[in-house]
């Protein structure tokens, strides 16, 4: 096979958000086929020798937050703000060109960076780089701006039309559900391939019992506690209040609710409300206050915990999301053969439910019937085993690594041709190791110009 150097680009590749997890799975598939993967982002927990770190590329960087505060919820954009956006775009574009040259990148994969406009300068920089270099690019879309209310009023509609997403002949677009494919075509005329989220169902998870027990103790759980796991970030659209209500209504069970992921991506107000809500309803809430690692990332600290240390302790999984692009937690729950309750969000109803999964479901609100079905699963081992085995068998047919492999192969052939991918190279030259980079932003002139733009806008 002619091996390729593949460059992943996003605002963040770290932790257990859906974009980072799916990027890790794609990288695992590519690397098993002999390709080499490299990483460009504003937050990275990957191998430093394969990473290109630019702090200004993170959506939480102070500079980008300052920009977003002045473009979201507003129609007018001040000239000095336009100049600042382009100054940051220019700096990031320089980094992207360096990234491509330093690692001899053959294929770019933009992970949500050309999808949701959380970082306007990065999207513009990436779009211009792709056009200027004509490098083959996969734009992997998870959440479009039209799916989020907070982007409906903005002062950058011109930039959004240009770069979120861009339409260029050297870009193959990938979406994670059928509704996104249809809406993308309707709004932009861009056609896309559907690649759903996947897991390696051919190889069941390997559980480290000792690590798992240490994790259980670290968050204050006893060995006989009934654990309800909410395996999501603490953001409003995850509907965590429904999980609290379920645990409360199962008061005879005496369950503990564990939330596995951190808060902060969309502020901390909802997280504080959830804590108060649990307290008011006498629900024993346990928050995982350590950074949970991506189980596919071998560069994670050996003494840290990953998602694979959390799922084995769940007696039942709650997943009452109001809206999801696909639903990583859904697949993870099935992978670990755990029963679950799910809110019938739109993509679940359209793409997943018709496949015949056996799930306890709610439809926007919690009924007595739903609570009773959860209780039946918790009290009947026979019912539980039948449910989880049935779900695993279906998921292995539709959401396995083999599905991802075949669809990526198709895209790679479109870019490089079948003969290129089927002829094996005797040797491949790879670039010298590169340490994590962070330079143009530290240039005095650039910092001075940024301060000038900000002062003129105040």
Question: Distance between CA 142 and CA 18 in Å, rounded?
Answer: 8
Look at residue 20 and tell me if it is in a domain: yes
Q: Are residues 321 and 189 in the same domain?
A: no
Q: Which residues pair with 317 in a beta bridge?
A: 229, 340
Q: Are residues 158 and 235 in the same domain?
A: no
Q: Which residue has the higher pLDDT, 343 or 433?
A: 343
Q: Are residues 221 and 82 in the same domain?
A: no
Please compute, for residue 313, the number of CA atoms within 13 A of its CA located in the half-sphere on the CB side. 34
Look at residue 354 and tell me if it is in a domain: yes
Mean pLDDT of 84-103: 98
What DSSP line would sit under 136-205, residue for residue? -EEEE-S--GGG-GGGSSBS-HHHHHHHSS---TTEEEEESSHHHHHHHHHHH----EE----B-TTSPP
Judge whether residue 254 has pLDDT over 80: no
Using an 8 Å Cβ cutoff, are 344 and 330 in contact? no
Domain end among 376, 398, 420:
398
Domain end among 348, 380, 398:
398
Nearest to 159 by CA among 125, 112, 108: 125
Residue with tokens 């999501």: 232
What domain range is 14 assigned to? 5-198+401-457
Look at residue 91 and tell me if it is in a domain: yes
The pLDDT-based confidence of 430 (bands split at 50, 70, 90) is: very low
Question: Distance between CA 387 and CA 338 in Å, rounded?
Answer: 9
Q: Which residue has the higher pLDDT, 424 or 329?
A: 329
Helix/strand/coil (H/E/C) assignment for every residue in 215-284: HHHHCCCCCCCEEEEECCCCCHHHCHHHHHHHHHHCCCCCEEEEECCCCEECECHHHHHHHHHHHHCCCE
Q: Residues of the chain with pLDDT > 70: what percent?
A: 87
Q: Are residues 394 and 262 in the same domain?
A: yes
Q: Are residues 330 and 409 in the same domain?
A: no
- CATH number for 318: 3.40.50.2000
The pLDDT-based confidence of 435 (bands split at 50, 70, 90) is: very low
Q: Are residues 85 and 151 in the same domain?
A: yes
Q: Which pLDDT value is given to residue 373?
A: 96
Look at residue 58 and tell me if it is in a domain: yes
Residue with tokens 């302790």: 313
Q: Which residue has the higher pLDDT, 455 or 174?
A: 174
Q: Which residue has the higher pLDDT, 266 or 162?
A: 162
Judge whether residue 448 has pLDDT over 60: no
Look at residue 376 and tell me if it is in a domain: yes
* Helix-, strand-, coil-residue percentages of the chain, each rounded to 5: 50, 15, 40
Question: Distance between CA 449 and CA 447 in Å, rounded?
Answer: 5
Mean pLDDT of 239-266: 85
Domain end among 398, 421, 449:
398
The pLDDT-based confidence of 423 (bands split at 50, 70, 90) is: very low
Mean pLDDT of 384-388: 96
Look at residue 335 and tell me if it is in a domain: yes
Q: Which pLDDT value is given to residue 426?
A: 38
Tokens at 232, concatenated: 């999501």
Mean pLDDT of 338-362: 95
Q: Are residues 152 and 231 in the same domain?
A: no
Nearest to 56 by CA among 48, 46, 65: 65
Q: Are residues 268 and 298 in the same domain?
A: yes
Q: Which residue has the higher pLDDT, 457 or 345?
A: 345
Using an 8 Å Cβ cutoff, are 285 and 244 in contact? yes
- Cβ–Cβ contacts within 10 Å for residue 143, how many? 19
The pLDDT-based confidence of 390 (bands split at 50, 70, 90) is: very high
Judge whether residue 236 has pLDDT over 50: yes
Q: Are residues 218 and 327 in the same domain?
A: yes
> To 10 degrees, the CA torsion angle through 182, 185, 186, 189?
-170
Tokens at 284, concatenated: 């024993």
Mean pLDDT of 14-36: 92
Helices (DSSP H) in 5-119: which residue ranges? 18-32, 62-71, 79-102
Q: Are residues 36 and 168 in the same domain?
A: yes
Q: Are residues 284 and 385 in the same domain?
A: yes
Domain total in the chain: 2
Q: Angle of helix 62-71 relative to helix 444-457, nearest 10 degrees?
A: 30
Q: Are strands 171-175 and 193-194 parallel, antiparallel or unpaired?
A: parallel
Look at residue 203 and tell me if it is in a domain: no
Judge whether residue 156 has pLDDT over 80: yes
Tokens at 283, concatenated: 């629900």
Task: Calculate the CA 277 to chain-centre distance.
Answer: 27
Question: Distance between CA 439 and CA 449 in Å, rounded?
Answer: 16
Q: Are residues 97 and 37 in the same domain?
A: yes
Look at residue 345 and tell me if it is in a domain: yes
Handedness of CA 161, 163, 165, 170 (dihedral sign): positive
Judge whether residue 447 has pLDDT over 60: no
């Amino acid at each position: 096979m002619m091996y390729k150097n593949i460059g992943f680009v996003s605002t963040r590749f770290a932790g257990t958000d859906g974009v980072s997890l799916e990027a890790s799975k794609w990288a695992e598939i590519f690397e098993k086929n002999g390709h080499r993967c490299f990483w460009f982002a504003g937050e990275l927990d990957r191998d430093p020798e394969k990473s290109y770190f630019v702090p200004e590329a993170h959506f939480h960087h102070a500079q980008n937050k300052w920009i977003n505060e002045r473009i979201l919820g507003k129609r007018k954009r001040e000239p000095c703000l336009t100049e600042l956006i382009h100054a940051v775009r220019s700096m990031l574009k320089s980094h992207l060109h360096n990234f491509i040259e330093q690692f001899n990148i053959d294929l770019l994969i933009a992970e949500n960076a050309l999808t949701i406009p959380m970082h306007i300068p990065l999207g513009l920089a990436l779009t211009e780089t792709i056009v200027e270099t004509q490098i083959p690019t996969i734009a992997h879309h998870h959440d479009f701006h039209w799916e989020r209310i907070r982007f409906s009023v903005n002062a950058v509609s011109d930039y959004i039309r240009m770069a979120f997403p861009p339409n260029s002949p050297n870009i193959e677009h990938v979406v994670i559900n059928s509704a996104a494919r249809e809406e993308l075509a309707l709004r932009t005329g861009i056609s896309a391939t559907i690649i759903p989220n996947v897991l390696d169902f051919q190889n069941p998870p390997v559980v480290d019992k000792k690590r798992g027990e240490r994790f259980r103790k670290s968050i204050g759980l006893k060995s006989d506690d009934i654990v309800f796991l909410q395996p999501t970030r603490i953001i409003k659209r995850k509907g965590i209040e429904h999980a609290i209500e379920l645990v409360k209504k199962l008061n005879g069970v005496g369950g503990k609710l564990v939330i596995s992921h951190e808060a902060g991506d969309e502020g901390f107000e909802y997280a504080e409300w959830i804590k108060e809500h649990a307290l008011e309803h006498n629900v024993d809430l346990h928050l995982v206050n350590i950074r949970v690692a991506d189980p596919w990332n071998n560069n994670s600290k050996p003494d840290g915990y990953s998602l694979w240390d959390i799922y084995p302790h769940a007696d039942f999984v709650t997943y009452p999301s109001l809206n999801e692009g696909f639903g990583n937690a859904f697949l993870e729950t099935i992978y670990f053969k755990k029963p679950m309750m799910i809110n019938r969000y739109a993509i679940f109803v359209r793409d997943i439910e018709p496949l015949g999964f056996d799930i306890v479901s709610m439809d926007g609100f919690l009924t007595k019937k739903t609570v009773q079905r959860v209780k039946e699963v918790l009290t009947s081992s026979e019912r539980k085993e039948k449910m989880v085995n049935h779900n695993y068998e279906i998921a292995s047919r539709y959401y396995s690594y083999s599905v991802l492999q075949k669809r990526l192969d198709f895209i790679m052939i479109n870019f490089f041709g079948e003969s290129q991918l089927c002829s094996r190279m005797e040797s491949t030259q790879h670039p010298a190791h590169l340490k994590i980079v962070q330079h143009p932003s530290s240039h005095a002139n650039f910092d001075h110009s940024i301060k000038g733009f900000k002062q003129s806008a105040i």
